Structure 1
Amino acid sequence: MMLRLSLLLLLLSHSASSMLLGWVESPGYPSGYLPHASLNWSRCAPKGHILSIRLIHLDLEDSQDCENDAVKVYSNGNLISVLCGEREFEELQSSVNPLLLSSSGGCLSLSFHSDYSNTKRHTGFRGFYTNRDFDECHDDPDNGCTQFCHNFIGGYYCSCRHGYHLDQDKHTCTVSCSEDLSGLKQGYISSPSWPASYAENANCQHTLSVDDHLQLELHFSEDFDVEQSPDGQCIDALRIETPSGTLGPFCGHTPPPSPLLTHSNHVHIRFTSDGFGTNKGFTLHFKTRDKVCPAVVTPHSTATPQQPEYHQGQTVAVTCELGYVVNTQGTQTLSSQYMTTCQTTGIWTPNYICEPVDCGFPNIPEDGILQLVGSDNPHTQYKDQIQLNCRSKYYTLEGDDTYTCNANGEWISSRGKTEMPKCVEVCGTPERQTTSVGRILGGQNANLGQIPWHLLIKSPRRGGASLINDRWAVTAAHVVENVEDTSLRLYGGLVDGRTTSNRFSNVVVMDSERIIIHPNYVKDTAERTNFDNDIALIRLASRVNLGPNLLPICLPEANRTLVEHEQGTISGWGKTEGTTGFVTSYMLKYAHIGVYSLTRCQDTPSTSNRKRMIFTNNMFCAGAPGKDSCQKDSGGPFVSPMLSEGSEPYSLTGIVSWGPPCRDGQHKGYYTKVKNYVDWIKDTIDKIEKS
């Protein structure tokens, strides 16, 4: 008993202010703890105090990382010590107990556990916990007192040297250096303690206020010394605050320019310092003079005539810099100049700002194909740049891709173009290539995507058409000559004509909005002998989504010359040769054929009334042994060059128009020569799209 008391007195003697609160020990101490024993203990210190645990005995099973038996101590939930094995009293006192402390007003927790067995009996641990005052002044470097700190039980307070007072935060010592000098027309202002070193943590404000028609001017002494960092940043700072803005901060050894015209009758002179340094500070003389208007009326402008300053009644012309325009009452005008007059108050009236020209959001079509790169909210002011591209790989940009906002408020490209670019359909380039040869009459079936421009018309007359952009198709006039503008339905993105239902995901169903038959095409009321100008345009009701199975064919060059034996490819869902005769094909078929000579084309067949069919320069004929277009192929394409890998882009050279019956074996079809109608096609589309 005497030994325990001696140890306790020895421990408590290290802190005279410690108060013993109680003991904490392992279950069964000192007889020894059992397997699977546990203990959880927690206490908290009152505000301004700390809690500590002092262990006087430790005898636990030893193990690597104390994974078997262990006592763990936590401060505010954070683990601060893990103990096991056997420790001597001196070791506990020197290296363990000093760590078992809570924070000020914090909590300590202790947990003990033993595993399922021990090779020998261990007595456990015992200690006591105490509560003592926390010395914020000595032990807490963040106590916040800038000069003197005084500790008392449960807390602390700050005080200041003579000449200083505690600020509102009750920690910072500062000086009384703010002063209202309103009404004085001249006087002196200096940093606190001038010419001695100014006080730390100063926050001085001198207020100057005179009549409206006067302005304050400041004359600084050359003896200027305000703390500055080596990189030129102000550590302590002098600022001149006026209604129109703040001048400064000023620091270092160079005073502000003298005299400093404030152009204001109301000024705050603010000086701040940190908690370190021995700099001297500043002094200035203030006085008044009549107000003058500044040389710069508004930023980004020049005044004419130019003078260092202007007096009451003087009028100048304000001209905005290039790329800037006048903003009056929040509205940007087209003018870059206005007149203004200097008032007795030193204010220019009117005073409008010169702001950068705003080109606005570029005029991009709403179809969403042409898009801005990088941002949906681009900067649109003078000298800002935008970049444009096409959203889909099935379009290519026609025009420049980068535009800059110029001084006239226009988006202009590097080549001086103000027109926005367009996204033009990539034409005549199927993603799937044709590698085999066949013929429409019992010929080769096309694979999906091999001839993606070919459209199917099922009624009122079966035929074909060719997609030439995402809104227009072209066909033979006689296929649609008796069809109302909005009653034609076309199908694309397919090769099997039986799959025209919407339930087939690849099929694109298109309705016509307008049908334009060539104005020189003549409808025959009797047996037809003339298919001249057999061409028509179809405007679709809506723009189609291009994809690998639906792509346009290119129009040919208007000056292109067809030559004899030139090879091309025809395709269609028309008649083909079956085992029982000629039948309508449900699969898209294609064949490669050659252009015949002019002499052979002029040898036209006769009708049933022995009238010879008329051949014109707007036609050509083509075929090959066993290969030909046939009935119900009308309106379909003849494309050049012949479809084969690496030959694209392909052009629409001809449109299936007329010919002798397939069964007579001539294998000679007549085609509308598309190159003769390229200008009509483009002009018609352009006129309708702009209307």
Structure 2
Amino acid sequence: MMLRLSLLLLLLSRSAYSTLLGWVESPGYPTGYLPHASLNWSRCAPKGHTLSIKLIHLDLEDSHDCENDAVKVFSNGNLIAVLCGKREFEELESSVNPSLHSTSGGCLTLTFHSDYSNIKRHTGFRGFYTDQDFDECEHNNPDNKCTQFCHNYIGGYHCSCRHGYYLDADKHTCTVSCTKDLSGLREGDISTPSWPSSYAENANCQYTLSVEDTLQLELHFSQDFDVEQSDGQCIDALRIETPSGTLGPFCGKTPPPSPLLTYSHHVQIHFTSDGYGTNKGFTLHFKTTEKVCQAVVTPHSTLTPQQPEYYPGETVTVTCELGYVANTQGTQTLISEYTTTCQITGVWTPTYACEPVDCGFPDIPEDGILELVDSDDRHTLYKDQIHFNCSSKYYTLEGDDTYTCSASGEWVSDGGKKEMPKCIEVCGKPEKLSTSVGRIMGGKDAKMGQIPWQLLIKEPSRGGASLINDRWAVTAAHVVENVQDTALRLYGGLIDGRKADRSPSVVMDSEKIIIHPGYIKGGEEPTNFDNDIALIRLASRVDLGPNLLPICLPEPNRGLVEDEQGTVSGWGTMGDTRVPAILKYAQVGVKSLTECQNTPFIPKTNKRMIFTNNMFCAGGERTDSCEKDSGGPFVTPMLAEGVDRYYLTGIVSWGAPCRERQYKGYYTKVENYVDWIKNTINTIETS
């Protein structure tokens, strides 16, 4: 009994403020715990206090890693001890109990469990828990934020400062009172606190100087300058603030340039230090002089004449740098230079900022084919760049892809072009080809996408046309000469003419029809089909795809070679009155000039048809175009594997009736009309 009381008194003597809160022990203590026994215990300390457990007895079954019977202690949910076996009180007091405590205001949790057996009848454990004041002022305690003196009391602590310091608003930091308003003084001295002794830690000094607006302040620093610096970085710092900006920070052993001309009548001097160091600081003498104007009116400009400084009444010319213009506050005229005068207050009047030239957002079509790369980042100022590409693989970029905002306010490409690039249709490149050929009159059936430029006209006269870009088609003039009010419907992206009004065909309406001015309407029995060509402007841009692509125009005056092979296609009759459902195509060869000049007679009038240099003829054995193929394409080279690009060499124009001719048809020679086609399109598109 006396031993237990002595141990208790010894433990209680550790803290005068400790209060015994209670005991915690294993079930059945001290007679022994039963198998499968358990205990869950938890307590929390109030703010500014800690909770600790002092074990005075421990007798549990011993096992590897205490996996059988065990006491576990947690601090705020973190495991701090796992105990088993038997330990004497002295060992508990020296190696176990010192760690069994919570943080300030924290919680302790103790758990106990036993397994299925307790053969040796171990007695268990017993300890008591105490709530005691936490000493925040203890050495190395992170909760102690006092910069000088710390005073502990039950449940908390407070800070105090040495003589000459005061406690800042955070109630932890000791600093000095070094803020002074020296407004009105034309001359005086400023030093760091305690100069020439080491300046105070945690200093935050502000000195205000203010004189008449016709004067400027000069700062003369002593060469004895010592502000803490480490690895080139300012630990403590001196900064000088004027209305035009901040000078500094200054630190190390080198003072600011002296005299330091502030060019201002109002200056604030800031000095800050951290909580360490033994540096001396600085001292300076301030005085005033008459104001002058600085040799800078606005950034990105030069002055003429150039001087280190200017006196009131002197005038200069401000010239903005290349790529900058003066912001004249809303005037319509952009200027790159202006004249300004130094005032008695040390300011330039007038003052216009030199700002980067703004090229504005470039004009690009709204069709979305030509697009800006990263267009969300729309910088349009001098030297900014924009990048273009085409949004569809069926177009290629014509022109440069990168443009830069120039000093003249225009977008200029890397190649020196001012015109924006264009997305030009990829022409004459079908994605599907077949090398087998036949004659249109009973010839070979085309496959979908094999002749993607072929268009069908059903009314008022059945015929064909060719797509030459996403807004224009070309056909024979005699096919559309009787169309009223430009009301023409064309079909593309198909091979079955019976399903022209159904998907997947593309239905196109005309907006304008332009017949070549040299074409003469021939009446019921025409003998002259010279200039048999017409352009059709579609009412809207078509969406190009694998089944609807344009054919290329040939080079002007390329010349045709006798026996040159090409491919003609259409939905024309097959030598009788039958009209095929599926698009037909055939290989035909160009005839000689002599053979072409041997034109057929018109049966009713017995007049010979007229042949001109704007035509050529072509055909083969049992192979030819026929009625209702008019306006359709004759392309070269003939459809075959390995061909890079196809060109619209001819347009089906005229010939003797299919059953009467010797497999020879006449075609409009497209090479003679390339300039007319391009000029006509350009005139209408730009009007």
**1:350/1:114 CA distance change after superposition, 3 Å:** farther
| 1:114-133 matches, cutoff 5 A | 126-133=126-133
Q: Per the alignment, in what secondary structure is the counterpart of residue 318 of structure 1?
A: strand
Q: Per the alignment, in what secondary structure is the counterpart of residue 584 of structure 1?
A: coil
Specify the alignment match of 1:636 in structure 2: 632
2 CA distance for matches of 1:87 and 1:331? 95
AA at the equivalent of 1:496: D
Are 1:677 and 2:676 an aligned pair? Answer: no
Are 1:522 and 2:525 an aligned pair? Answer: no
**1:414/1:210 CA distance change after superposition, 3 Å:** same
Specify the alignment match of 2:552 in structure 1: 554
Deviation at 1:107, TM superposition (A): 2.9
1 CA distance for matches of 2:611 and 2:28? 121
**1:596/1:196 CA distance change after superposition, 3 Å:** same
Deviation at 1:494, TM superposition (A): 2.2
**1:301/1:124 CA distance change after superposition, 3 Å:** same
1 CA distance for matches of 2:117 and 2:520? 113
2:633–2:650 contact (8 Å) kept in structure 1: yes
The match for 2:589 among 581, 590, 594 is 594
1:26–1:33 contact (8 Å) kept in structure 2: no
Deviation at 1:660, TM superposition (A): 2.4
Specify the alignment match of 1:270 in structure 2: 270
**1:464/1:7 CA distance change after superposition, 3 Å:** farther
AA at the equivalent of 1:553: I
Are 1:281 and 2:277 an aligned pair? Answer: no
AA at the equivalent of 1:583: R
Specify the alignment match of 2:574 in structure 1: 576
Specify the alignment match of 1:398 in structure 2: 398
1 CA distance for matches of 2:92 and 2:14? 14
Deviation at 1:146, TM superposition (A): 1.3
| 1:198-277 matches, cutoff 5 A | 198-230=199-231, 232-277=232-277
Deviation at 1:330, TM superposition (A): 6.2
Specify the alignment match of 2:686 in structure 1: 690
Specify the alignment match of 2:380 in structure 1: 380
Per-residue CA distance 1:84-107 (angstroms, 9 max, x = gap):
754635665555554443332233
Deviation at 1:286, TM superposition (A): 0.6
TM-score, normalised to structure 2, is 0.92
2 CA distance for matches of 1:519 and 1:346? 75
Q: Per the alignment, in what secondary structure is the counterpart of residue 524 of structure 2?
A: coil
Deviation at 1:525, TM superposition (A): 2.3
The match for 1:531 among 529, 532, 555 is 529
Per-residue CA distance 1:239-289 (angstroms, 9 max, x = gap):
111122111111122221222121211111111111122222111111111
Q: Per the alignment, in what secondary structure is the counterpart of residue 248 of structure 2?
A: strand
2 CA distance for matches of 1:286 and 1:660? 110
2 CA distance for matches of 1:539 and 1:168? 80
Specify the alignment match of 2:509 in structure 1: 511
Specify the alignment match of 1:611 in structure 2: 607
2:234–2:251 contact (8 Å) kept in structure 1: yes
| 1:88-127 matches, cutoff 5 A | 88=87, 93=93, 97-110=97-110, 126-127=126-127
1 CA distance for matches of 2:59 and 2:633? 99
**1:137/1:564 CA distance change after superposition, 3 Å:** same
1 CA distance for matches of 2:81 and 2:331? 72
**1:582/1:345 CA distance change after superposition, 3 Å:** same
Specify the alignment match of 2:175 in structure 1: 174
Deviation at 1:19, TM superposition (A): 2.8
1:58–1:126 contact (8 Å) kept in structure 2: no
1:62–1:84 contact (8 Å) kept in structure 2: no
Tell which deviates more after alignment, 324-333 or 396-405.
324-333
2:625–2:652 contact (8 Å) kept in structure 1: yes
Specify the alignment match of 1:488 in structure 2: 488
Q: Per the alignment, in what secondary structure is the counterpart of residue 216 of structure 1?
A: strand
2 CA distance for matches of 1:636 and 1:123? 110
1:219–1:260 contact (8 Å) kept in structure 2: yes
1 CA distance for matches of 2:278 and 2:486? 91
AA at the equivalent of 1:373: V
Deviation at 1:337, TM superposition (A): 0.9
**1:628/1:128 CA distance change after superposition, 3 Å:** farther
2 CA distance for matches of 1:411 and 1:392? 24
Tell which deviates more after alignment, 81-90 or 331-340.
81-90
Tell which deviates more after alignment, 562-571 or 410-419.
410-419
Tell which deviates more after alignment, 663-672 or 157-166.
663-672
2 CA distance for matches of 1:601 and 1:450? 30
| 1:10-409 matches, cutoff 5 A | 11-25=11-25, 31-33=32-34, 35=36, 40-55=40-55, 56-57=57-58, 59=60, 66=67, 73-76=73-76, 78-81=77-80, 83=82, 85-86=84-85, 88=87, 93=93, 97-110=97-110, 126-138=126-138, 140-230=141-231, 232-329=232-329, 333-409=333-409
AA at the equivalent of 2:422: K
Q: Per the alignment, in what secondary structure is the counterpart of residue 185 of structure 1?
A: coil
2 CA distance for matches of 1:182 and 1:462? 98
Q: Per the alignment, in what secondary structure is the counterpart of residue 574 of structure 2?
A: strand
Specify the alignment match of 1:478 in structure 2: 478
1:325–1:333 contact (8 Å) kept in structure 2: no
AA at the equivalent of 2:632: G
AA at the equivalent of 1:296: V
2 CA distance for matches of 1:266 and 1:404? 43
Deviation at 1:617, TM superposition (A): 1.3
**1:70/1:660 CA distance change after superposition, 3 Å:** farther
2 CA distance for matches of 1:331 and 1:171? 57
1 CA distance for matches of 2:573 and 2:408? 63
**1:40/1:519 CA distance change after superposition, 3 Å:** farther
Deviation at 1:687, TM superposition (A): 0.3
The match for 1:585 among 559, 577, 580 is 580
1 CA distance for matches of 2:525 and 2:567? 30
Q: Per the alignment, in what secondary structure is the counterpart of residue 663 of structure 1?
A: coil
2:48–2:133 contact (8 Å) kept in structure 1: yes
**1:690/1:33 CA distance change after superposition, 3 Å:** farther
Tell which deviates more after alignment, 161-170 or 436-445.
436-445
AA at the equivalent of 2:628: K
AA at the equivalent of 1:636: G
The aligned length equals: 681
TM-score, normalised to structure 1, is 0.92
Q: Per the alignment, in what secondary structure is the counterpart of residue 678 of structure 1?
A: helix
Deviation at 1:567, TM superposition (A): 0.9
1 CA distance for matches of 2:124 and 2:680? 102
Deviation at 1:392, TM superposition (A): 1.8
**1:92/1:550 CA distance change after superposition, 3 Å:** farther
Deviation at 1:387, TM superposition (A): 2.1
Q: Per the alignment, in what secondary structure is the counterpart of residue 520 of structure 1?
A: coil
Specify the alignment match of 1:563 in structure 2: 561
Deviation at 1:7, TM superposition (A): 5.7
1 CA distance for matches of 2:125 and 2:583? 94
CA-based RMSD of the aligned residues comes to 2.7
